[in-house]
Amino acid sequence: MNMNPRILALGTAVPETSYTQEELVRLFGAGNPKITRLFLSSHIRKRHLTMPTPGPLGMPEESVEELLAKHRTGILREGGRAVEQALQQAAVAPEQIDYLVCVTSTGYLCPGATALLIDQHGFRQDIHRIDVVGMGCNAALNGLQPLVQFLRYRPEALGMLVCIETCSAAYVNNDQIGTAVVNSLFGDAAAAALLAGPKAAVSGNDVGLPVLEDFESQIILEALHTMRFDLDHGKLSFFLDRDIPYFLGANCQKPVARLLERQGLKKRQIDHWLVHSGGRKVIDSIKMNLDLSDHDVRHTLNILEEYGNISSCSVLFSMRELAREGTVRPGDRGILMAMGPGAAIELALLRW
């Protein structure tokens, strides 16, 4: 019997308010041609964000308290909607969930997202839980690993991963190019994946959603400080080094090769590539070094265009798109790839 957990359902949510890049550049960088070029050359069409009402001088500054309150709201609003959607898809009640993993990098709360969602949705009080905070865009895969191990140990159980990234709660507003890079890229979103152990008493999942077979990691220590949070007058301010695409591209072959070798597979046997929508230069670097086509990363490119970089949520959004496309067949294999601070590359091997 296959002892690997499977994904039963995926729920996704974004704020109701969205902005085109043209609208955002007027709010964040009007009059600075360098900032304008950044916003308009990003391959992003629009993003969903929770922003204050613009004033006559553009986007008003938000206090530390307001940003943290926005992070909490995102957990309960977008996170709550994603959870409800996943539960409804699988016809599963909250009290049936045995393990809850919540992932975020856009704020710090204590008690954290797991406690807030348990209270909101009526999960059992004896549920196992873990909050993964601060691991960035690759954190969905870091959150999946303990959940998958739990479901192998408890094959009759159900678990849920919830990624909540209110990136607008980690924005600062100034005229610096480094700040503009971040403000031109990230969006708000939440995604929930409902997983079942191999002996769980639930109905079979849709053929569009996979089994999780294996994981692989690569941390790039020479790029340790290329993606990080700094403090700007007490506010979280994300920093992205211009050489990130080079570091990620130069190292992405290593974990892929190890994962495939361990499973006795060749790259040509991978039918689907679900890569983090980290930005056009990052995607191009991964494509070049892994010899992938635009068709291979079509879901990645579409998520970037429609939502921006939604951090840890992006690979689950891409998986949702692949499932809706209806092209997967039983026996297909795929690689889920996310990149983030560390710098790190995280992989999961998928099978349908």
Catalytic site positions: 137
Tokens of 270: 């991978």
CB 249 within 8 A of CB 212: no
Phi, psi of 106 (to 5 degrees): -110, 20
Strands 158-166 and 227-232: unpaired
Coil, strand, or helix at residue 325? helix
CA-to-CA dists, residue 131 to 100, 164, 196, angstroms: 9, 11, 20
Distance CA 127, CA 199 (A): 19
In the chain the beta strands, taken as DSSP E runs, fall at 6-13, 18-20, 46-48, 99-104, 128-133, 158-166, 188-196, 211-219, 227-232, 235-240, 272-275, 333-340, 344-351
User: Residue 113: which of 169, 47, 53, 62 has the closest Cα?
Assistant: 169
Q: Facing residues of 274 across strands?
A: 336
User: Residue 309: which of 144, 193, 170, 207 has the closest Cα?
Assistant: 170
Q: Facing residues of 214 across strands?
A: 349
Tokens of 30: 């009007």
CB 75 within 8 A of CB 133: no
Residue 340 DSSP one-character state:
E
CA-to-CA dists, residue 293 to 111, 254, 257, 298, 301, angstroms: 44, 19, 18, 9, 11
Query: Taking the chain, what is the end-to-end CA distance rounded to the nearest angstrom?
Result: 15
